[in-house]
Amino acid sequence: MDFSAALPTFVITLREGVEAALVVGIVLALLNKAKKSHLNTWVYSGVGFGIIVSVLIGFLFAGIIQAAEQINPQYASVVKPLMEGVFCLLAIIMLSWMLIWMSQQAKKMKAQVEGAVNTALEQNAYAGWGIFSLIAIAVIREGVETVLFIAANFQQGVVATIGAFAGLVGAVIVGALLFKWGIKINIRQFFQFMGVFLVLIVAGLVISALRKFDAAIATIALANNASQSLCFYYQESAPIHSCILGPMVWNTSDILPDNQFPGVILKALFGYRQNLYVVQAVGYLTFLLTVGSLYFRSITNAVRINSQKQASAQK
């Protein structure tokens, strides 16, 4: 079994899980400080509810995928890659937004959670429901992002799920180390490090999405003469066809195949493909120059501000 497919889901689930674990840990600490530990049950219920909803959404996506695979073969060759491309696009949008938003809001997270908990506690009889909603929303948000990424790569099957489960276990361990045993972990550096991997993983999704759309459009274009104009680049003699991706940039299948080690690792974590086309290369670089540069600028600013604070404290 090829476990390389588990690496991206492990990275994403670990990062998303740690973010949810931070919210849970902060809420439990605040409840303990306010001598409201009897509301802890609502916290754990919110975690359980969030996980169940995320799993149900995963089953919904799986049902959609199975329905696409079982339709008339004449249409499945179009619907299936088109659906894969749409899932990839949604995952790219959600994960990119989360990455940029988190890099800008991380320093405010504790204050925001404290404000939400204080507001919930002011509701007296409905305080439990307020805490439950806060935790459930946090867990569902992270869970949906992970499930959507798995759906965008549903050819990975069980292996991707194993990676997600391992990432969830890792997030629980990190949360326990922080809040139960009081072990100091530099959370800022953790998110920055995982964020770099996430940028490259999502950039790989850009390549996958373009290839899926290319496959769907090629099937439509070649089905009848009236639709052939959809393919602006197609070579009958080419061993590997491209419809909307332009000419091939490289073919490294003989040197570094992406289905064997170490190419399979590079593919899983950094978006490497043994066959890369012009449009894919442009899309990959465009993503890195936009979303990637925004992310790196945000963490660079965070490091600079943190260094200035440390310098001021030492004076």
Q: What does the pLDDT look like over 227-263, one tens digit per residue?
A: 566 776 655 555 456 788 888 888 888 888 887 878 8
Q: What is the DSSP letter of 288?
A: I
3-state secondary structure of 148: helix
User: How far is Cα 196 from Cα 96, in angstroms, rounded to an integer?
Assistant: 12
Quick one: pLDDT band at residue 225, thresholds 50, 70, 90? low
Please provide the average confidence, as pLDDT, over all residues in the chain: 80
Percentage above 70 pLDDT, the chain: 81
How is residue 12 written in tokens?
A: 């994403």
Give pTM, 2 decimals: 0.79
| Greater model confidence, 162 or 233 | 162
Specify which residues 276 forms β-bridges with. 250
**Cα end-to-end distance, the chain, whole Å:** 57
Specify which residues 250 forms β-bridges with. 276
Amino acid in position 146? T
Q: Where are the domains of the chain?
A: 3-314
Is the pLDDT assigned to residue 195 strictly greater than 80?
A: yes
Q: Contact, 248 vs 242, CB < 8 A?
A: yes
3-state secondary structure of 276: strand
Residue 224: how many other CB atoms lie within 10 Å: 8
Amino acid in position 117? V
State residue 104's pLDDT score. 66
Q: Contact, 208 vs 88, CB < 8 A?
A: yes
Q: Are strands 275-277 and 248-251 parallel, antiparallel or unpaired?
A: antiparallel
How is residue 233 written in tokens?
A: 């680049």
Q: Given phi > 0 = left and psi -120 to 50 = alpha, else beta, which region is 261?
A: beta
